[in-house]
Amino acid sequence: MEEEIRFYFKQEEYENLLNKMKNIGNTEGLKYEGCYLELTVQYDHPAEENTFYSKEIDGRFRLRSSINIETDEEKSKISWKRRLPDNKEKDINIEEEIEVELKEGQLENLQLLLETIVRMKRVESYQRYRNVFCNSDVEIVVDKYPFGIALEIENKSKTKKCEDVINQWVKELNLNIEERYKLSWDDKYTSLCKEQGITPVKDVIFDENIIMPKV
């Protein structure tokens, strides 16, 4: 299970959030693991009646590749993530998550199998810059999307209650828990497009020719 909380900010707050995290990390023992440029492709079940996007399932099946922008280290994984039905009344998101790390060269072959053999439907893709800060209790990320900034706090402790870990860092970062966002990035993107009268695109990437909504 993944236990986390998420907040969104305007693009202009990106550098301030990074500097804030680095300063707090130096005093609170958070290790900065670097910045990664990620590309994530999301797929749906080949049979429409079994769609992952139904209210009953509400899941995301994803292939993700990432590269450390400083070291050029590359990673990739396949993952399944699903919101649990009893999550709505909780401050913290508790989601089912399964991840499998892929070896070098496996991503392209797996993508070929999914699209040509299994016939899974390619739904959408997105890019983000992910900055990772962590210790044994918590992982905090600052994500730069083409439409805004997200900050996530995820419990990693094996001994402490998730509420205690996450609430501690919400307080440490001076965040208002009432401003948390419960849904996924694609829900946020779609709602921003609707609010601002922008036609959504299937590939939410860093491209000056694509009109993006703003948080």
- CA atoms of 7 and 153, how far apart (whole Å): 9
Give pLDDT tens digits for 120-170: 999 999 999 999 999 999 999 999 999 999 999 999 999 999 999 999 999
Whether the pTM exceeds 0.85: the reply is yes
- Domain membership flag for residue 196: yes
- Domain membership flag for residue 212: no
The answer to whether 93 touches 6, Cβ cutoff 8 Å, is yes
pLDDT at 91: 83
Calculate ∠ Cα 201-78-8, nearest 5°. Answer: 50
How many C-beta neighbours within 10 Å does residue 141 have?
20
The token pair at 35 is 């910045």
pLDDT at 88: 66
Domain that holds residue 91: 2-204
The answer to whether 15 touches 154, Cβ cutoff 8 Å, is no
* Regions in the chain scoring below 50 on pLDDT: none
- Domain membership flag for residue 37: yes
Could you tell me the CATH number of the domain that includes residue 141? 2.40.320.10
SS (H, E, C) the chain: CEEEEEEEECHHHHHHHHHHHHHHHHHHCCEEEEEEEEEEEEEECCCHHHCCCCCCCCEEEEEEEEEECCCCCEEEEEEEEEECHHHCCCCCEEEEEEEEECCCCHHHHHHHHHHHHCCCEEEEEEEEEEEEEECCCEEEEEEEECCEEEEEEEECCCCCCHHHHHHHHHHHCCCCHHHCCCCCHHHHHHHHHHHHCCCCCCEECCCCCCCCCCC
- Domain membership flag for residue 215: no
- CA atoms of 136 and 155, how far apart (whole Å): 9
Total domains in the fold of the chain: 1
pLDDT at 89: 65
How many C-beta neighbours within 10 Å does residue 154 have?
20
- Domain membership flag for residue 133: yes
